[in-house]
Amino acid sequence: MKTAPELVADLLVAAGIQPNGSDATDIRIKDQRFYNRVLKEGSLGLGESYMDGWWDCDKLDELIFKLLSANLHQNVKPAGSWFRYKITDLLFNRQTKRRARKVARIHYNLGNDLFEQMLGKQMMYSCGYWANASNLDEAQEHKLELICRKLKLEPGMEVLDIGCGWGGFAQYAASKYLVKVTGITISAEQAKLAQQRCVSLPVSIKLEDYRDLNGEYDRIVSIGMFEHVGLKNYRAYMKKVRQLLRKDGLFLLHTIGSADSSPTDPWIDRYIFPNGQIPSPAQLSAAFEPELILHDWHCFGKDYDRTVLAWRGHFQNSWPKLRDAYGDTFYRMWMYYLNVCAASFRAGKNSLWQLVFSRPGYNADYRSVR
């Protein structure tokens, strides 16, 4: 019978990774406990052992890319861990109003200083649009312009931004397209900074859950928030959008998407986005078909790889300013998170979708925008 080091080495070599090899993408194992931990705990053990300093790699994103491309996350999937997350997703609503605030407390309220340093001048925590961009700020501005054009914004329109973050879209749309924007978030830290950034504009930022909203809007946008809605709430979310959207209105949804319906990765769920869930095409379609009419489905997932690598560069460069507030364990956790995300889009495990909808009965001639 093979030992744990031999079993792990076989898996790694099959993915083109040499344990303690000389290539920049090879893994350097510093603690022998690594082998049993990974076999026992899968991706959770891999991430936690990296945080603990048990292993290292010069090109972490490329290492994770190789692991994902070889589907090692499927080959090393502890039955208990996978079953627990799968059964939890099936039986429980992990994104109730009360539970939804957990991700705000753990992630989005970490500190505006961290996100200001990492995200760039627009403060957009979502995929940029790199078709004609040479840097992150250009990619985010092009994304915002693309969204505004897809929504066919006109002066005086009332726009709802569900999950407004730090006000990047509200600031851009209100200043350039002269629309009135209501932005909602469940993060107090986001709301505070968004209000400051939009203080002189026709923008209202509210600390509110989307399920509590009332009123009518000409346009609705949601950028990078749907990943926190949860499968059991997808239909209710679409129903709420239909309720809030005027009969001739448009709704744009910008979300990460997954090719299948796998449960959330245990490490990401524990340390980064608790109770998050990435929709599959089938899940999303089942939710919107009874409520809304689809006009456009645009995919540009590879752009997220470049976006995350740009965030990583900003984070690394600004770390000397952040170290005292966050500590070295946080640095390893955050670097692991950013590299895993970049690798997942590079390997095609996740994509980025922009969908445009209307209510049934919308009779205008909608033309797709790129």
Those residues with Cβ within 8 angstroms of residue 360's Cβ, 6 or more apart along the chain or in another chain:
292, 293
Instruction: Report the alpha-carbon distance of residue 112 to residue 7 in Å, rounded.
Output: 43
Instruction: Report the alpha-carbon distance of residue 121 to residue 105 in Å, rounded.
Output: 24
Tokens of 140: 């985010």
Least Cα distance to 39 among 19, 66, 9 occurs for 9
Q: Which helix (H) or strand (E) holds 351?
A: strand 350-358
How distant, in Å, are the alpha carbons of 73, 175, 269 from that of 295? 35, 27, 32
Tokens of 80: 């208990």
State yes or no: is 341 an active-site residue.
yes
**DSSP symbols for 87-134:** HHHHH--TTSHHHHHHHIIIIITS-HHHHHHHH-TT---S----TT-S
Amino acid identity of 78?
Answer: P
Instruction: Report the alpha-carbon distance of residue 183 to residue 162 in Å, rounded.
Output: 6
Could you list the active site residues? 341
